[in-house]
Amino acid sequence: MVIFMAADRLQLAKDRLTAYYAAEMAVLTGQEYRIGSRTLRRADLEQIRSAINELMKLVQQLEAQASGSTANRARRVVLRDI
């Protein structure tokens, strides 16, 4: 069940990333766009790009977790003075 939930989170993050890419394209062509109930204009391009970067990181983390090769693995080091 945990793997299924992670897969759902991954798909949701990818869907949101796709929506933000569409919003960025709309802004770059000078149009207004909507995400949910919010209407955004060109002035919000920096906010959109920030969200895209965050979502890209999240997608990479979730994909790494799904493949079992997480980079954020805890390691233990024992220092010895010989």
Position with higher pLDDT, 49 vs 72: 49
Domains in the chain, number: 1
What does the block give as tokens for 1?
A: 């069940």
Q: How confident is the model at residue 4 (pLDDT cuts 50, 70, 90)?
A: low
Domain assignment of residue 41, yes or no: yes
- 24-63 residue pLDDT tens: 888 788 777 678 888 776 657 889 999 999 999 999 988 8
Task: Note the pLDDT tens digit of each residue in 12-21.
Answer: 999 999 999 9
Residue 79: predicted pLDDT: 83
Domain enclosing residue 59, as ranges: 2-67
| CA atoms within 13 Å, Cβ hemisphere of 27 | 19
How many separate helices (H) and strands (E) can be counted in the chain?
A: 2, 2
62 within domain boundaries? yes
Q: How confident is the model at residue 73 (pLDDT cuts 50, 70, 90)?
A: low
